[in-house]
Chains A and B, each alone.
Chain A
Amino acid sequence: MLHPDLVIAICLAYVAILFAVAFAGDRRARRDSGGWLSSPLVYTLSISIYCSSWTFFGAVGSAARNGLEFIAIYLGPTIVFVGWWVFLRKLVTVGRVHNTTSIADFISARYGKSQTLGAVVTLIAVIATAPYISLQLKALTDSFQVLTLPRGAVTAASSTIEPDYVLAFWIAAGLCVFSIIFGVRNIDVNERHHGVVAAIAVEAVVKLVALLAVGLWVVGLSDWDPALVFAGAPASIIDPAETFGPRWLTLLFLAAAAVICLPRQFQVTVVENSDNRQIRTASWLFPLYLLLLCLFVIPIAIAGLERLPAGSNPDLFVLTLPMQENYNTLTLLAFLGGFSSATSMVIVSSIALSTMISNHIVMPLALRLSLLPQAGAEAMRHFILTTRRCAVVFVVLLGLIYLRASNSDALAAIGLISFCGVAQFLPSLVGGLYWSRATAAGALVGLVCGLVLWGYTLVLPSFGGTALMSASTIADGPFGVLWLRPHALFGLNGYDPLVHAVFWSMTANVLLFVLVSLAREPTPLARFQSMLFVDVFRRQTETEQRIIRRTARIADLRQIAERILGPAEATALFADREVRRSIIAGDNMISRVEQRLAANVGAASARSLISRVVSDETISVQELKRLAGEAEQIRAYSEELERKSRQVEATAAALAAANQRLREVDAQKDEFLSQISHEVRTPMTSIRSFSDILLAEPAMQEEQKLRFLNIIQNESSRLTRLLDSILELDLLRTASARHAPVDFDPEDVLTSAMESCEALAHTAGTTLVRLRSAASVTLSGEPDKLAQIFINLISNAIKYNDAPKPKVSVSSSSSGGVYEVRVEDNGRGIAKQDHERIFLKFERGPVVGHQGAGLGLSISRQITEQFGGKLFLDESGKSGACFILQVPISGREG
């Protein structure tokens, strides 16, 4: 035997070493984040808290009782870690990206930051962990008791040992102190506990070394001969037929689920993870660790069964075997191994659960009931830390109470109850990562039903006929309803209670999770969160694509941040220059604060805190569509407006142009009328005046009288010509609008025009000659109009020719795309300064007595311009006038 004081002293010394390691770890982590603390080796060793005292002591016990069954407990995690690429990688990435603080936080965050879900997950976790913690307490107490018994009493007492609850209490108290000191010392950004991780890594090494030492010693007892080691093995241990049935498969499933879903496993695997490199290494190193750990389980079990008296507790073989053989040092090492497994499990579990309880049960309640301290950051920190410390004590106390209440002696059985409980998280967890349609309602209903069925079929019966569930209820069902028997629900008979419980709870859980999820549309926030989780590898941060617009006053946000994080942290968070300048925080800022708060109080509580100061604009997909539609409409409308306004502008411009043109035309009309008036009044004035003279002086000389009458006559005919010209002008204008242009040969027109003027020339005694003719060309327009020009030019040349032998010659030519006609006379010509004036309206040639209306040339020029041509006087300075008409040839030549 070992003296209790010695054992206690050794335990305290060991704990002191752990303290030192934890301190070193924390200090190291504060100095620089990383180093050996974040090495994949430490990470893997911390994951090995999976191997609690249940595996340290219990695996041998299980092997002794149920043979190879225990393999499943190691194989499940091995499968999960070897296949890390499939599931663990995604889980760990999501957890890291979203600063997940616990499994409750993870599930709550995934399903729209649901507070209810977080609370339910926490509740299940606490209920499921209590038996597990009680298991550790039991192992610790048992091993301590056995260690301090006299050698002879060991074998006899080990099976019927009465647990020392006072001892258990003190052990529990010690564990609480350690957990509180290292696990709940500060509120960390991402709930990473470097000191604790360092300590449990050391413990992981100790338990491996201890178990390997005992194993090697046992093999050594058989002279290192494998044949001898297995010689005395009972058939049950190595008979696979007994082992591999539904129960084994169930265990495999539960172990695989537990290595992810156990709060402490989630804590070390996901929350404490800092990069994917760690999980990559753990994927092979952790299975290797498990392999080493179970290498000697069978030999130890066989040796125990062989060497120890029948009835010895197989769960303590690891301890009692060396004791029996008087190997005190080895016994002590085995004890420390068990101590390590138990303490590390309790410490990490209590830390993980305290975070969950504080974030998902106490904080939401405190928020709802307005119990949060208003005094300031320090008070808030104090409140959270106190909550967590109390939660640690509560969790360990719960384990203690379970230890007192339950009657299941076997470690393995208690552990499996826990496994089945946490396995309820699996559907929500897996569905949350891979099925975007999964909803909070589905997860909630699935979890609650799983919880109820698990409690009814496994937890309550484990108390074995207490007030919670009577023995008769277990045997005959509640109120004698047979199909409600906890171990044969709905008449499912003949199965192991564990298989039965797993079947019903998981079936109900998965089925309801899927059906309820499909039944209801997820909320926009949940949809958004699900996208972030399911598509984590495509979208790394929450801020990248927001469909929820939020705004908040910076001051309000800051107040919250200061309350939760403390002034220093808050100042750092709001240090951004841009943030300092503004009053209203945008979505990015709010998300940053929320994420930072979530690290301390969990996503749901952070959201709840933030939502008090944030004006939330949650946009549903329908809303988005509607907005998009509206925007589209507005865009189309504004385009239409723009188009219309352009049209209006164009119309206005056209109108302005038309107005301008109208004013011009009006001015032209006025000018024209004014000129007409002048032109008409001038001859009339002469007529009137001379008539007056003639009337007033009847006795005028005959010669004088004749002269005056002549003037009157001339002026009268001038008036007539003038009126004819006006009519002609009007005809010309209206005609131009009436006739469509035709292609014609101007030579034909010129020839007929000359024929028309033949008579006039003859009367005036003028010789009219045709000189050169152009080759046949084609013009486009109205031939009659061109004829009018020709006649006008030729008749003018005849009329105004005052030469003694008047002669008019006409020639035509075409070259360079221009058709040219020259009408030349041998008269006295037109003075150079009058060359342009004669083309103005009402300007007459200088020859008195042959005055026309003064419109002919004006009209001719106008027509020429309609043909796109020019009409002008030759300026070569020859005697006589030479009018030149040039018109571009429109059609093809020849």
Chain B
Amino acid sequence: MGKIRILIVEDEPNILESLSYILRRANFDVAIAANGLEALERLSRTKFSAMILDVMMPGISGFDVLRQVRADRKLCDMPVIILTAKGQSRDRQIAHEAGATEFITKPFSNADIIACLQQVTGTG
């Protein structure tokens, strides 16, 4: 069984770098997208086990990407972890309604991210 493939969608380069670093360290196969459009493009080409999705991005926001993913029959079962700097409960609710599997606020602990990923992908 190959590596579990994860897509990280994040416009902030430093966060993208740290995330991909720790996920590789945790033995995940990591693909990255710097914005929503890029993410959807990648999703249409490759199948991922899970996706870590930032909300505030230029162009298509994370929530919009999530809604499209959930509307897609092939992708609707994929676990999506919403990663956001907006910690308000309202955002949490929007994320839930849009179909987020998990919701993690920035700044996050690396261990939490890995644990969460392992949980949603059933690889713990």
Contact = CB atoms under 8 A, between A and B. Distances in A.
B18 A686 contact: yes
B87 A689 contact: no
B108 A689 contact: yes
Interface string A667-691: 0000000100111111111111110
Interface string B90-124: 00000000000000011111110000000000000
Nearest to B83: A685
B15 A685 contact: yes
Nearest to B21: A693
Contact of A689 (B19, B85, B86, B105): B19
B56 interface: yes
B17 interface: yes
Interface residues of A, number: 24
A37 to B, nearest CB: 106
A689 B107 CA distance: 8
Contacts of B15: 682, 685-686, 689
A708 B105 CA distance: 21
B56 A689 contact: no
B14 interface: yes
A715 interface: yes
A708 B17 CA distance: 10
A696 B112 CA distance: 13
A688 B109 contact: yes
A711 interface: yes
A693 B12 contact: no
Contacts of B78: none
A685 B108 contact: yes
Given A692-B109, A692-B110, A678 B86 contact: yes
* Interface size class, chain B: 20 to 34
B85 A682 contact: yes
A683 B19 CA distance: 14
B101 to A, nearest CB: 20
A682 B110 contact: no
A683 B14 CA distance: 8
B14 A686 contact: yes
A518 to B, nearest CB: 92
Contacts of A696: 110
Nearest to B113: A689
A850 to B, nearest CB: 14
Given A686-B14, A686-B15, A693-B21, A681 B110 contact: no
A693 B105 CA distance: 18
Contacts of A686: 12, 14-15, 18
B109 A678 contact: no
Contacts of A692: 22, 109-111
Given A682-B85, A682-B106, A689 B12 contact: no
Interface string B1-39: 000000000001111011101100100000000000000
A677 B109 CA distance: 18
Contact of B86 (A674, A688, A711, A848): A674
Contact of A693 (B13, B108, B110): B110
A687 B107 contact: yes
A688 B14 contact: no
A677 B85 contact: yes
B52 to A, nearest CB: 12
A689 B88 contact: no
Contact of A685 (B13, B25, B106): B106
Given A682-B15, A686-B14, A674 B107 contact: no
Interface in A779-818: none
Given A687-B107, A688-B108, A681 B85 contact: yes
B14 A681 contact: no
B21 to A, nearest CB: 6
A793 B87 CA distance: 34
Contacts of A689: 15, 18-19, 22, 107-108, 110
A714 B13 CA distance: 13
A681 B106 contact: yes
Contacts of B17: 711
Interface in A35-55: none
B108 A711 contact: no
A576 B106 CA distance: 94
B56 A678 contact: yes
Contacts of A679: 85
A684 B15 CA distance: 10
Contacts of B85: 677-682, 685
A187 to B, nearest CB: 97
A679 B107 CA distance: 11
A661 B12 CA distance: 34
A714 B108 CA distance: 19
A199 B23 CA distance: 142
A674 B86 CA distance: 6
A272 to B, nearest CB: 103
A863 B77 CA distance: 50
A714 to B, nearest CB: 8
A682 B10 CA distance: 11
Residue with the greatest number of chain A CB neighbours at <10 A, chosen from B12, B18, B88, B108: B18
Given A682-B106, A684-B107, 9 more contacts: A678-B56, A679-B85, A689-B15, A689-B19, A689-B107, A689-B108, A690-B14, A693-B18, A715-B14
14 contacts: A674-B88, A677-B85, A681-B105, A681-B107, A682-B106, A683-B14, A685-B15, A686-B15, A688-B108, A689-B22, A690-B18, A692-B22, A692-B109, A692-B111
Q: Nearest 9 CB-CB pairs, A to B?
A: A681-B85, A688-B107, A689-B18, A685-B106, A686-B14, A685-B107, A692-B110, A678-B85, A681-B106
Interface of B: 12-15, 17-19, 21-22, 25, 56, 85-88, 105-111
Interface of A: 674, 677-690, 692-693, 696-697, 708, 711, 714-715, 848
